[in-house]
């Protein structure tokens, strides 16, 4: 499905007057307006190849129809998102769910939509047809050297795909752990994982990063071998400068102070980036900002302050990816909402009066500190985000456009009603 340029401008023209009023109102209050707009325009969030279909539950998949049937159609869907919001110019690929049969042509297709390849994800949490060893009892931590070797080789193969596509990071999440006390020797599991990771690390090209994701529980319910940021950071520190810790927002125990974790990892130069999502209970993988947008803002506040302190470039010095997937929404509308939530939190963080906040902290003035943060958080920054999108060639209201132009209906017509995309 092609979104013609004239559709976009017709749509924007009809909304321009109302938008201008809102934008005028907020621009009077922002003193670094052009800087904020520029940063918002530049900021891109990678779309995971597994989130373009419904899913996210072990208990059933309920396709809404028109789901992408192959990698080409997934790239096309991301191209559609990017055309609307100009902020989804990257894809995070999962191997083997989305093996590119012809990397050159996939790369060319992505370039056509102005999409680059973010971190590539390996999978040693499922058995694939024809594979020699089973991952039932883990992969990189397995007691059997043969299983570990198979998992290492898979990761090296994923790196090779990534190199061909122009990616520069391997994102690694392990389901390895144990379900019952006594099942696993923790130190043994850690040491074996470290040995396996060393082999993968050694296969990284010069300019590549290894993102080490952690997760408190699930699918293992007693211990996870990379269960928290401490364990991930231990590995990352031992391995070397290319290895960093990836924070998936849904992978913490309830009420964890994620913004503090983020601040410290960033300070140590060990923050790889994010898997954005939201959750109420665990790894719910819900739409970003749907449950706890204040937490998201507090995380971005640490990011902006911490990245500025280290002279880092917001848009490109960390990996920004969504990792969410569920059954009840149209996945494309859901992704538009997620990207929007991320940009809103980022915009709010850019409005924080950092100097005043630092002064309040210096004086132990908790009241002033809260006022400063909430002043930014309670500002309606949506017109800023919309203006940045407009400047970049997108539409003022992506979801309204999507519905008005019956994008899903068109995709169903093109691809059929009974389609199930690969993914969780
Ligand atoms: C699993 O819980 C992790 O969030 C993974 O990052 C991801 O969902 C999976 O690896 C899909 O590639
Ligand atoms: Zn994740
Ligand atoms: Zn997860
Ligand atoms: Zn998750």
Statement: residue 333 has pLDDT above 70: yes
CA max distance for the chain: 66
What's the whole-number mean pLDDT along residues 130-142?
A: 98
Q: What percent of the chain has pLDDT over 70?
A: 99
- Model confidence band, residue 152 (pLDDT cutoffs 50, 70, 90): very high
CA of 424 to the centre of ligand 3 (A): 10
pLDDT at 5: 73
Strand partners, 170: 120, 210
Instruction: For 19-74, give the DSSP string.
Output: HHHHHHHHHTT-TTHHHHHHHHHH---BEEGGGSSS---TT-----S----SHHHH
- Assign 179 a pLDDT band (cuts: 50, 70, 90): very high
Cα–ligand 4 centroid distance for 273 (angstroms): 14
Instruction: Compute the average pLDDT of residues 82-102.
Output: 96
Of all atoms in ligand 1, which is nearest to the CA of residue 250? 4
Q: Where residue 363 falls among pLDDT bands split at 50, 70, 90?
A: very high
280-311 pLDDT, tens digit each = 999 999 999 999 999 999 999 999 999 999 99
Give the per-residue pLDDT at 58: 66
Residue whose CA lies nearest to ligand 1 atom number 9 = 173
Sheet holding 120-121, edge to edge: 120-121, 169-172, 209-213, 243-248, 271-276, 319-322
Cβ-contact 338, 329 below 8 angstroms: no
**Structure tokens given for 59:** 């208990």
Cβ < 5 A residues, ion ligand 2: 248, 275, 323
Looking at domain 44-335, its CATH superfamily turns out to be Divalent-metal-dependent TIM barrel enzymes (3.20.20.150)
Q: Of ligand 1's atoms, which has the minimum distance to the CA of residue 325?
A: 8
Strand partners, 320: 274
CA distance linking residue 294 with residue 15, whole number of Å: 29
Kindly give the distance from the C-alpha atom of residue 97 to the centroid of ligand 1, in angstroms, as a whole number: 12
Average pLDDT, the chain: 96
**Residue 424 — pLDDT band, cuts 50, 70, 90?**
low
What does DSSP assign to residue 178? E
Question: For residue 66, is pLDDT > 80?
Answer: yes
| Distance from the alpha carbon of residue 295 to the mean position of ligand 3, in angstroms | 18
The set of protein residues with a Cβ atom below 6 angstroms from ligand 1 is: 50, 94, 121, 173, 213, 215, 248, 275, 283, 323
Indicate if the pLDDT at residue 119 is higher than 90: yes
ipTM of the complex: 0.95
Token pair listed for 423: 């993914």
The pLDDT, as a whole number, for residue 186 is 98
Put the strands of the sheet holding 90-92 in their side by side order.
47-48, 90-92, 116-117
Q: Which ligand 1 atom is the nearest neighbour of the CA of 424?
A: 11
Using the predicted structure, report yes or no on whether residue 417 has a pLDDT greater than 90. no
Nearest to 338 by CA among 107, 87, 122, 119: 87
Domain ranges of the chain: 44-335
pLDDT at position 54 is 84
∠ at Cα 408 (319, 99), nearest 5°?
Answer: 45
pLDDT band at 56 (very low <50, low <70, confident <90, very high): low
Cβ atoms within 10 Å of 3's Cβ, excluding its own: 18
The pLDDT value recorded for residue 53 is 87
Q: What is the pLDDT of residue 64?
A: 81
- What was the pLDDT predicted at 60? 79
pLDDT attached to residue 16: 97
Nearest ligand for residue 218 CA: 1
Q: Whose CA is nearest to atom 3 of ligand 1?
A: 173
State the distance from the centre of ligand 4 to the C-alpha of 227, rounded, in angstroms. Answer: 13
Through-space distance between the first and last CA atoms of the chain, rounded to whole angstroms = 25
């Amino acid at each position: 499905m092609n979104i013609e340029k004239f559709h976009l401008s017709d749509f924007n023209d009809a909304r321009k007057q109302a938008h201008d009023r809102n934008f005028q109102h907020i621009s009077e209050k922002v003193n670094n307006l052009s800087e904020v707009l520029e940063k918002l325009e530049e900021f891109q969030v990678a779309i995971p190849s597994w989130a373009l279909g419904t899913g996210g539950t072990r208990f059933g998949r309920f396709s809404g129809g028109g789901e992408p049937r192959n990698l080409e159609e997934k790239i096309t869907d991301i191209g559609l998102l990017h055309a609307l919001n100009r902020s989804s110019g990257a894809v995070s690929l999962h191997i083997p769910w989305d093996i590119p049969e012809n990397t050159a042509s996939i790369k060319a297709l992505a370039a056509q939509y102005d999409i680059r390849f973010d971190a590539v994800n390996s999978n040693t949490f499922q058995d694939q047809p024809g594979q020699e060893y089973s991952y039932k009892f883990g992969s990189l931590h397995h007691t059997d050297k043969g299983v570990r070797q198979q998992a290492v080789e898979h990761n090296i193969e994923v790196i090779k795909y990534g190199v061909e596509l122009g990616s520069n990071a391997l994102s690694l999440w392990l389901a390895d752990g144990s379900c019952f006390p006594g099942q696993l020797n923790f130190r043994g599991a850690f040491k074996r994982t470290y040995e396996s990771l060393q082999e993968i690390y050694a296969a990284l090209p010069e300019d590549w990063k290894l993102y080490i994701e952690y997760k408190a529980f699930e699918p293992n319910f007693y211990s996870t071998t990379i269960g928290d940021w401490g364990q991930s950071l231990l590995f990352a520190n031992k391995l070397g400068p290319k290895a960093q810790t990836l924070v998936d927002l849904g992978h913490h125990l309830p009420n964890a102070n994620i913004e503090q974790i983020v601040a410290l990892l960033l300070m140590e130069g060990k923050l790889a980036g994010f898997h954005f999502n939201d959750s109420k209970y665990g790894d719910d993988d819900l739409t970003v900002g749907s449950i706890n947008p204040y937490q998201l803002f507090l995380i971005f506040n640490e990011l902006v302050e911490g990245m500025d302190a280290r002279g880092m470039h917001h848009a490109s010095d960390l990996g920004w990816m969504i990792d969410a997937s569920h059954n009840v929404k149209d996945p494309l509308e859901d992704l538009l909402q997620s990207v929007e939530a991320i940009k809103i939190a980022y915009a709010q963080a850019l409005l924080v009066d950092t100097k005043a906040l630092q002064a309040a902290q210096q004086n132990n003035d908790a009241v002033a500190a809260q006022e400063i943060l909430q002043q930014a958080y309670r500002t309606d920054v949506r017109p800023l985000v919309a203006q940045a999108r407009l400047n970049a060639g997108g539409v003022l209201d992506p979801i309204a456009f999507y519905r008005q132009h019956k994008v899903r209906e068109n995709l169903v017509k093109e691809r059929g009603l009974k389609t199930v995309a690969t993914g969780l």
